[in-house]
Amino acid sequence: MGLSGLIIKGMNLKKIAFIGLPGLVFFAALVFVYQLQNQHAMVTKAPVRVGILHSLTGVMASSEQPVVDVVLMAIEEINAKGGLLGRKLKPVIADGRSDEKTFAVEAERLIVEEKVDVVFGVWTSAARKAVKPIFEKYNKLLFYPVQNEGLEASKNIIYLGAAPNQQIIPAVKWAYETLGKRMFLVGSDYIFPRTANEIIRLQMQALGGEIVGERYENLQNPDFRPAIADIVKSKPDVIINTINGDGNIDFFKALRAAGITSETIPVMSFSVSEDQIIPEMVGDYAAWNYFQSLNTRENLDFVARLKTKYGDARYASDPIQSAYSGVYLWAQAVQRGGSIRAQDVLVGLKNISLPSPGGILNFEPRINHVWKRPRVGKINSDGEFDIVWQAPQNIRPNPFPMFKSKAEWALFLEDLYQGWGQNWSAPTEAK
């Protein structure tokens, strides 16, 4: 009995060895192959460090904080889909404190100390001018989401906002034909309003319009009483507004206080977006490439996602849309170029196109700008824009308006820079 029991037991062991082991090996091999096939899905590499540089404090914070949020939202969405090149994206946020010098310091810190591979951020042109040499020095890319005065095409800055020919010139042309030929220019005293108004002045000269007055107020602590007084006095057909930041609220309140309504003298603003609208602005105009009210599938989806994440009080605006699309533009370029190095991303960016909430995004490689469709919106009582005009198609970016040669524009900029004591905005006077 014992012997036969042993034999049976031995047979079982043999059976296990003969069938079980190869079976196990076969199964293990299958699992290995499956894992190998799905290796791209396994995110185990170090994350890509993504810098976000905006004003979280100061006069620009109310404009820039929502941009930070939307960049984080895009990063989150990309991470949810498995990241980039098998790596997750890790945002690193820095505060420019509404001050161009701080922007420069923080940009360098992000690149050198935080070792970010790319930076999304910056709003004002003054800050952009201040960080431009930093990005060129370290050969990193800045994805810049705001419309600008042009006259610049750095190989290290991806200009996601409108160049002058995509916003200022067509909107002024529209205002000239629709609202009137006598214009009053008011703006913050820094590089964007100064340059924008120089372009408008030259455009009016070519068209035969008239600039009846021009006023600049300090970005940090503006006082619009002299400007309002000038406007009341000169009675323009239209006010061209290039004020940035919270100053817009003061300006419109002061304007209404002076008895000027949108019916008597309409305002065409270049930096008033959905999230800054106050009841005093109803009936006035703004020029952008994007409005939240844009009726496309991509935009409806985007706005719904944004409001789901940040609440119904959150608005999508042109810079917010550009910043959001900019992350996807970068991501697609990284995938196309196969690397996160600036020089490879630039290869990936070459003539890239992608759908975005603002419509098709075409990249123009030689000047690092994107194609844009100029639009004019009229502020309604719901605090949104009704689109009253749009160009028939997307416009090729052209940062250098033909009114001056590139050399002449360079001289113009240099004069301003030196005039401000080697700053890109007027020094703040203690009051």
Partner 1 sequence: MLTLKSLSSKIMVAFLAATVLPVLASSYMSFLTAQKSLEAEITQRLVAIADYKVNIIEAVADNNLAQIESISKSLDVLGAVQHFTEAFLGDGINSDRYKQEDATYRLFLTQFNDAFKYSDLFLISPDLDIVFSVAHEADFGTSLKSGPYRNTQLAKVTKTAIANFESSLSKIELYQPSQDVAAFAAVPLLKAGQLIGVLAVQFRREALYEAITDRTGLGLTGETVVGELIRGGFLVTAPLLHIEDAAFNKTFANDLTGKFLNASRGEMGHDIFLDYRGIPVLGVWRNLPSYQWGMVVKIDVAEAFAQVRTLELVNLAILVAAISLVIIISVLVAQTISKPIGKLNHAAKSLQTGDFTSRIKINGKDEVAQLGHAFNGMAAEIEDSYKVQTKQLDELSKVNVELERFTYTVSHDLKSPLITIGGFIGMIEKDIEKDRFERVPKDLARIRSAADKMRQLLDDLLELSRIGRIANPSQDLSQAKIIEDVLERVHGRIEAGKVRVNVKLPKNLPTIFGDKSRIIEVWQNLIENAIKFSVTTQKPVLYIGAKVDGDWLECYVKDNGMGINSKYLEKVFGLFERLDASEEGTGIGLALAKQIIDVHGGRIWAESAGEGKGATFIFRLPLKK
Residues that bind partner 1 (CB under 8 A): 26, 33, 165, 169-170, 173, 202-203, 205-207, 332, 336, 350-356, 359-362, 364-366, 371, 393-396, 398, 401-403
191-207 vs 168-178: helix crossing angle, rounded to 10:
50
Amino acid in the structure at residue 98: S
Q: Which is nearer to partner 1, 188 or 195 (CB)?
A: 195
Residue closer to partner 1 by CB (options 116, 287) is 287
Whichever of 307 and 336 has its CB closer to partner 1, that residue is 336
Amino acid identity of 199?
I
Q: How far is CA 188 from the centre of its chain?
A: 20
The minimum distance between CB 398 and partner 1, in angstroms, equals 5
For partner 1, the closer CB: 53 or 151: 151
Closest distance of CB 178 from partner 1, Å: 13
C-alpha–C-alpha distance, residues 119 and 115, integer Å = 10
Nearer to partner 1, 7 or 33 (CB): 33
Dihedral sign computed on CA atoms, order 344, 348, 351, 354: negative
Tell me the C-alpha distance between 246 and 25, whole Å.
Answer: 69
The Cα–Cα gap between 5 and 297 comes to 75
Residue 336 Cβ vs partner 1, minimum distance, rounded to whole Å: 8
Asked if residues 169 and 418 have their Cβ atoms less than 8 Å apart, the reply is no
* 276 vs 317: CA distance, rounded Å: 10
Measured in degrees and rounded to the nearest 5, phi and psi for residue 188 equal -75, 155
By C-beta, is 381 or 393 nearer to partner 1?
A: 393
| Shortest distance, position 160 Cβ to partner 1, whole Å | 14
Shortest Cβ 364–partner 1 spacing (Å): 8
The least CB distance from residue 147 to partner 1, in Å, is: 16
3-state DSSP assignment of residue 340: coil
Q: How far is the CB of 345 from partner 1 (least distance, A)?
A: 15
| Residue 10 CB neighbours (<10 A) | 10
CB of 197 closer than 8 Å to CB of 213? no
Q: How many other CB atoms sit within 10 Å of the CB of residue 420?
A: 17
* Cβ nearer to partner 1, comparing 149 with 364: 364
* CB nearer to partner 1: pick between 42 and 360: 360
Inter-residue contact 227 to 186 (CB < 8 Å): yes
Instruction: Please report how close the Cβ of residue 213 comes to partner 1 at its closest, in angstroms.
Output: 20
Q: Which of 168, 121, 119, 122 is nearest to 139 (CA)?
A: 119
Q: Is the Cβ–Cβ distance between 182 and 231 less than 8 Å?
A: no
